[in-house]
Structure 1
């Protein structure tokens, strides 16, 4: 404990209160939002801040050690849902709807990462013997195995191939790129080259497996169709035999589409029509020829006009008529030439008439023959119609049997053609899927780089440490600084003193003569300024009685009390330092008892001079008696107010510690009350209890005893 005795009155610089009106109230932000208070907390609790940083860095280093770098290689596969239509009728339809195509691609995504494909990759690359795909040693796994052995729940060893398949399944990821039919496959491994090989191997295995699946599906479909061919062939033969037997039984002769009777009916109908047409034509010719015989025009019958005999006769007749005409004109009608020509003319006319009659007779014969033929054909047709009506029902049943045979034949032929097509198709790869981006060894590892990881660990540790330090500081509830105390109390301009020097030499000197050592200059200046502010607050008070108490800092308030007394003594003022603390720190440091019993002196209302101890510096001290009755607290106040000193400093006990302290605090004649608060040791809860115990009727001056004046 340091006492300041010598301080010049002019050394008052640096002890002024903070900005703002003294004891004024203002709203302050929480101290943990002040950067200066955060730095103060970091300085005070540097280990709390440093420990999370070290732990995070250690965890980062352990993670880097236990988790080797991983690399992901990716490849892209185009899934074309249309396929290649090598043959006219493919096994799968070439055109599909958009939604169905997307569902098809999503289904292929599941096939790509299925155990069927991955299992073949495990066998292809012999991953069952790869240490990477057999699991790594971890502390968690070792602890789990240990607990299992202790509890007796050990499981049988897993097959290496299944372990490799499970790890590969966890290392493989696939997704469909947005708005496309492209699948992106990624494989993670701790080896760049291995990751690329596995990605390419999975893609190739998938494509090969897809082609094999298509071929196998085609083969199975062809085999299923061929297995039906024999049965369909037997059904066709049975249907044809049944139709043929029915035809033979009912004597239904004809083509596959028409019976002979039907053909005959058709022919007879056609022949009857032709015969009737010939009869009509013959009748017409006959009537024309007979009309010529009855005096009709010679050229009205085509048969006569076109007859060569008649044509020749008519030519001869024309020549004879010319000769007759010439003979009549030149020779006369009696001339023999005329008469010979007339005879020839008559003979020719008779020959022509005879030929016409012959033609008429022939026409009549043709007409009668045509009528007879038409009658015969009509009779035959009627008879055939009657026969056709009899076989109509049988023919209907025959048609049904033939239709069944035709249907069986069509199915059989379709199956036969399809079986041959599938036999050829299974040798063709109709898939249009292909690798459009081959896997290559990746350049960068997965996750952040090592420097970034350690920087993140440093930042995270610093943040945790800072938050932890602030949390501990909040839980501790210590004052720490004048700024925090002002924010807590809602006051500004609190009085503050720097930390008093506490070297071993000064402590020894203090114990020897109670204050002969000189303190540091900043502390002396601050104490002197505080003393003058107290005097200015109570002008004309003679003596000026100052009560010094605290909520929990007993040593700090005692140092404040004697520092005020020594500062005044150094300025040649008459000062009395009263030790009213039940612990008697000042009396213990003095090492001497009062020359007179204080209780008796107070009862007799005698002056305090007989009970004072004078130090070499001129400071007078009233030691704490062995026992001061409670009822004498008022007498002690009277004695202090009647003393001849300029300044009386009373070192009280802690607030709420004893009755004498409470009586003196409640003494209205002593207005000056100092509440000492240690920035390092005091807690806000103790300050609040002290202020509550003092009461709202009396407002003490709060003095921070070991503050940082640079705030």
Structure 2
């Protein structure tokens, strides 16, 4: 069995701790999280229980709610029933969107909701009168005890407030459609309320339009009497002014203006007639002066002259024939000549008569023009006198026309509005009636409890990790390595009860040793200490080359009991390998000495002063250990001699159980002694704190590098 152990220990000597580069923080390691959950299971379980209880209370205090919705189309253009409506039709624009948003507020206004409360008699509905809650009952009890009771609330206001909280409306994106939603504990009631509120809104909208039209018509009719009286007064004023200033005429023109126009026209005609007569006279006179007969139209067109000229032509033919056939002395020729002269005299006399008539016409036209000119000048003078009065009259007549136009427009508008009161010009309508919903609002009950469970687990896990961070416990070798920034720390599992008991010191290891995880870890630690420079094992006898024992100092930052168990366990492990071992109790508390229950055969102080062998003060045990109990008082000046005595001892291994770092002078002197390289700093994974490790390392100093040993560690990977 010893050979097997030596083989195993030999294999462990060459083992090198596995180093990990770039390790993540411990709280990101699933193994560390599971370890924290196991240690703080109550912290994890409590939020889960609270969240599940909150979910159960929520499902009990909040009855199921159902939401029904209906959609209403708001057409801002309206219907063009009459040409001139009270509100002109609007085209789609940003202003129309503002109008629809305004109707959204009207839809959820207290006016519409209050009528819905009255319509469905919600004042008698327990759902809309508010159920008694625990908080409300407590408030009521406190109010009664303090005498500050309030009068009961109005049922209608209560129902209106609850209905307002359960009604929601919104405008669908890029449309004129409003969606109205109502929640209730009953799915049928939710649908009825949604339909009822939409119908009430449309009815109120139509009634509002009719009422607005009626009030506008009444306002216009109230103004008609005033406008009528104003028109009458304006007409009377204009007529009185016309009679006072003797202004006669139509609405558009005075009589004097008409006369001036007529005289101007007549004067123009007379002057034209005079000019025409003068032209005719000059033509006739030119004929009398030897001109041609056809140069004047009056002569050419005269029937008498035409007849005479015809006769003259016939006589001229006869004369020509007689002259050619009979000769000029023939009586026929002579008679023809006499007739020709008579006809020419008659034509000339007729022309002179026409000229005299033309002259008379010309003179009459000139006389008429002169008379008209005189009359026109006189009328112009009279018109200038009437001009100022006529300007004032025109102003009065314009006032009359303006009053008449306003009165007639108001009269027509009043009649139109009377007819529009009976017309519904709204194009708004319900395009999607509300129907009973199939599903309740919110997540199902299993989902609520599932979410509560997940939330509780999350809170518990985060809380436990947070508490673990605040506690600053070591918990595992990995956490300590991450905190110190170095890897390869030694770790020991939790020591068996027999290793920590006082009976283990006296037991015979020939019958009690074993190969458990704790013993293997101790053997690995012991051989690592022996493999360090200055303490190499001799392959034959197990002694050390050079004759000095392997002195191992065991201390701790805050775990006194753990480092004492580590010290005695190291000593017992070395003793089990048949090595000569001395276990020194240098702890001021003397835990080993108390468990041993035996006194040293010689006082340690006297032994050190006499430079006597240390074996005189040792207590041998059946297990092969020799124990140096803690003296009652060790002077400070003997602390250096104590180290010399340990190094000169005849043992193979000397394990010194020191006190806590910074606890006493002997511990500090032995730690500072550089002749003793093996210094173990025990750190308990369960009880140790990272702050205590930092304080211990700071106290030891940078010149001394202790070997950290994590006790009570979990070696499972």
TM-score, length of structure 2 as denominator length: 0.85
**Match of 1:135?**
130
**Match of 2:465?**
470
8 Å Cα contact 1:240-1:405 kept in structure 2: yes
Alignment partner of 1:652 is 2:658: yes
For 1:373 and 1:668, the matched residues in 2 are separated by: 161
Shift of 1:74: 4.0
Alignment partner of 1:278 is 2:273: yes
Q: Deviations over 1:653-693 (max 9, x none)?
A: 33344444444444555443333322222222333333344
**Match of 1:576?**
582
For 1:17 and 1:133, the matched residues in 2 are separated by: 83
Shift of 1:351: 5.0
For 1:513 and 1:19, the matched residues in 2 are separated by: 33
8 Å Cα contact 1:17-1:495 kept in structure 2: no
**Match of 1:9?**
6
Bigger shift: 336-345 or 450-459?
Answer: 336-345
Q: What is the correspondence of 1:451-466 to structure 2 with a 5 Å cutoff? A: 451-466=446-461
For 1:6 and 1:639, the matched residues in 2 are separated by: 33
For 1:492 and 1:184, the matched residues in 2 are separated by: 66
Alignment partner of 1:170 is 2:176: no
Find 2:595's aligned residue among 586, 589, 593. 589
Distance 1:253 1:678, change over 3 A: closer
**Match of 1:502?**
497
For 2:631 and 2:363, the matched residues in 1 are separated by: 184
Alignment partner of 1:124 is 2:119: yes
**Match of 1:672?**
678
Q: Deviations over 1:599-644 (max 9, x none)?
A: 5555555545555444333333344455556655555545544443
Structure 2 residues not aligned, in runs of 5+: 537-543
8 Å Cα contact 1:26-1:490 kept in structure 2: no
Bigger shift: 317-326 or 117-126?
Answer: 317-326
Distance 1:100 1:27, change over 3 A: closer
For 1:357 and 1:490, the matched residues in 2 are separated by: 156
Shift of 1:144: 4.2
Bigger shift: 52-61 or 587-596?
Answer: 587-596
For 1:491 and 1:37, the matched residues in 2 are separated by: 18
For 1:144 and 1:236, the matched residues in 2 are separated by: 72
SS at match of 1:677: strand
For 1:445 and 1:523, the matched residues in 2 are separated by: 61
8 Å Cα contact 2:507-2:623 kept in structure 1: no
Bigger shift: 484-493 or 595-604?
Answer: 595-604
For 1:366 and 1:565, the matched residues in 2 are separated by: 174
Alignment partner of 1:688 is 2:683: no
**Match of 1:547?**
553
Find 1:391's aligned residue among 380, 386, 403. 386
Shift of 1:37: 1.8
For 2:686 and 2:365, the matched residues in 1 are separated by: 152
Distance 1:17 1:626, change over 3 A: farther
Distance 1:338 1:20, change over 3 A: same
For 1:295 and 1:76, the matched residues in 2 are separated by: 109
For 1:202 and 1:235, the matched residues in 2 are separated by: 49
For 1:685 and 1:550, the matched residues in 2 are separated by: 12
8 Å Cα contact 2:90-2:96 kept in structure 1: no
8 Å Cα contact 1:79-1:433 kept in structure 2: yes
Shift of 1:255: 1.5
Alignment partner of 1:91 is 2:97: no
8 Å Cα contact 1:560-1:676 kept in structure 2: yes
Find 2:419's aligned residue among 424, 433, 447. 424
SS at match of 2:9: coil
Distance 1:331 1:462, change over 3 A: same
Q: What is the correspondence of 1:141-290 to structure 2 with a 5 Å cutoff? A: 141-289=136-284
Distance 1:96 1:339, change over 3 A: same
Q: Deviations over 1:473-523 (max 9, x none)?
A: 22322222222223333343222222222279x969648858764456222
8 Å Cα contact 1:225-1:415 kept in structure 2: yes
8 Å Cα contact 1:28-1:490 kept in structure 2: no
For 1:707 and 1:485, the matched residues in 2 are separated by: 11
Shift of 1:43: 1.6
Shift of 1:244: 1.8
8 Å Cα contact 1:12-1:526 kept in structure 2: no
TM-score, length of structure 1 as denominator length: 0.86
SS at match of 1:9: helix
8 Å Cα contact 1:242-1:401 kept in structure 2: yes
Structure 1 residues not aligned, in runs of 5+: none
Q: Deviations over 1:61-110 (max 9, x none)?
A: 32233233444444444444444444333333445794434433433333
Distance 1:263 1:502, change over 3 A: same
8 Å Cα contact 2:477-2:685 kept in structure 1: yes
Distance 1:519 1:142, change over 3 A: farther
**Match of 2:541?**
none
Q: Deviations over 1:9-35 (max 9, x none)?
A: 3343896798558xx998854332333
SS at match of 2:565: helix
Alignment partner of 1:529 is 2:535: no
Bigger shift: 383-392 or 626-635?
Answer: 626-635
8 Å Cα contact 1:545-1:648 kept in structure 2: yes
Distance 1:201 1:327, change over 3 A: same
SS at match of 2:708: strand
Find 1:100's aligned residue among 81, 95, 98. 95
For 1:565 and 1:579, the matched residues in 2 are separated by: 12
8 Å Cα contact 2:12-2:527 kept in structure 1: no
Shift of 1:426: 3.4
SS at match of 1:480: coil
8 Å Cα contact 1:310-1:352 kept in structure 2: yes
Q: Deviations over 1:392-413 (max 9, x none)?
A: 3333332222222122222222
SS at match of 2:5: coil
Higher RCO, 1 or 2 (CA under 8 Å, sep at least 6)? Answer: 1
Bigger shift: 357-366 or 207-216?
Answer: 357-366
8 Å Cα contact 1:17-1:494 kept in structure 2: no
8 Å Cα contact 2:505-2:621 kept in structure 1: no
For 1:18 and 1:480, the matched residues in 2 are separated by: 24
Distance 1:342 1:454, change over 3 A: same
Bigger shift: 135-144 or 115-124?
Answer: 135-144
8 Å Cα contact 2:498-2:504 kept in structure 1: no
Distance 1:333 1:146, change over 3 A: same
SS at match of 1:251: coil
Bigger shift: 484-493 or 409-418?
Answer: 484-493
For 1:39 and 1:666, the matched residues in 2 are separated by: 40
8 Å Cα contact 2:13-2:531 kept in structure 1: no
Distance 1:462 1:367, change over 3 A: same
Distance 1:327 1:164, change over 3 A: same
For 1:456 and 1:334, the matched residues in 2 are separated by: 162
Distance 1:145 1:320, change over 3 A: same
Q: Deviations over 1:402-456 (max 9, x none)?
A: 2221222222222222222333333333334444444444555444454444443
8 Å Cα contact 1:243-1:401 kept in structure 2: yes
**Match of 1:30?**
25
Q: How many residues end up aligned between the 2 structures?
A: 704
**Match of 1:699?**
705
For 1:452 and 1:79, the matched residues in 2 are separated by: 39
